[in-house]
Amino acid sequence: MQVKILSVIMVMGLAFIFSACGGSSDTTSSSPSPASPSPEMSSPSPTPSMEANNSVTNAEPSDGHGEGGQVVETGKYHLELLVGREPAGLHIDFFVQQGLDHAPVAGAKVVGQLQLPDGSQKTLDFQYSDTDKHYTAYLTDAPAGEYRLVVLSDIQGEKVNGRFTFTP
């Protein structure tokens, strides 16, 4: 009788341990943003010049944190991507900001390496707008499907990169 009770207790203990350990997963929630109907978040691309604490979120325009797009917080930088469909293609806005007040960073060289839904690659040269305080690129002839974008930013010699996935 004692052996049966001991066996039952061991089985229940192991089940408890496995359910506690196996049930946790570290995922990033991804909810649709107003500018991009179904974005998925991905991790930033670490470079030697980036600090170790990186986080990925969706910013809501009302929270004072961003413009409502996909966000990569990396070191002292806030990178944010907004994608909107236009009749001629895709309008891509990319915000490079720094500090707690998210001050715009002008003068960076920003290039995007875009993988289209068919697997082909395109390079996007982002241009800074002094008026809008962010970088912009356009993609004409943009078929429906999932896009993967790696944004490579050179900020006065410091490399800051972000990876994004979106479906316009």
Write down all domains in the chain, each with its CATH number in brackets.
40-166 (2.60.40.10)
Beta bridge partners of 71: 57, 80
Q: How confident is the model at residue 50, as a pLDDT?
A: 37
End-to-end CA distance of the chain: 65
Q: How confident is the model at residue 20, as a pLDDT?
A: 47
What does the pLDDT look like over 99-142, one tens digit per residue? 999 999 999 999 999 999 999 999 999 999 999 999 999 999 89
What does the pLDDT look like over 63-73, one tens digit per residue? 444 567 999 99
Q: What is the mean pLDDT of residues 28-39?
A: 40
* pLDDT for 42 beyond 60: no
For residue 104, which phi and psi values (nearest 5 degrees)?
-60, 145
